[in-house]
Amino acid sequence: MIPQPTRLARAAPALLLAALAACSPAPAPAPTPAKPPPAAAAAQVSDIDVTEHVKTALHQAPSLQGLDIGVETLNGDVRLSGVLASQAQIDDALGIARAAEGAHAVHDHLTIRP
């Protein structure tokens, strides 16, 4: 008489495959491309470049042409100084400086001519 395989013996190959599948490492996630933060681009602009951007924009503004506005930049902080004819001119100068590439903050040391 030939011995009949037991249920366990018949199921062994399937159990072995299931055990091997459970031990295999999970697939590695796809790497995501690194994105620099938006502020990083502004941080790369040198103080000299920020000063030049501000000065150029101030000289191109029709309401500010011919005025002597001092521009100093330190670590992206822009300081405007000078004497202007009106608050409207001061507001224009501050707006232009704030919009300049690389300017982080604008400090107002502008005064109105008496």
Instruction: Output the pLDDT for position 26.
Output: 61
The residue with greater pLDDT, 15 or 90, is 90
Exposure string over 57-70, b if 16+ CB within 10 A, otherwise e: bbeeeeebeebebe
* Residue among 64, 76, 70 at smallest CA distance from 101: 76
Query: What domains can you pick out in the chain, each with its CATH number?
Result: 43-112 (3.30.1340.30)
Confidence of residue 42 (pLDDT cuts 50, 70, 90): very low
Instruction: Output the pLDDT for position 32.
Output: 56
Residue whose structure tokens are 């100093």: 72
Lowest-pLDDT range, 8-12, 30-34, 41-45, 65-69?
30-34
Instruction: Output the pLDDT for position 21.
Output: 65
- Tell me, what amino acid is at 29? P
* 68's tokens: 């002597």
Mean pLDDT of 72-88: 96
Strands 77-84 and 70-74: what pairing?
antiparallel
Confidence of residue 12 (pLDDT cuts 50, 70, 90): low
Instruction: Output the pLDDT for position 20.
Output: 62
Which residues are paired to 64 by β-bridges?
none
Provide the mean pLDDT of the chain: 82
DSSP 4-40: PPPHHHHHHHHHHHHHHHHHSPPPPPPPPPP---HHH
Instruction: Output the pLDDT for position 44.
Output: 76
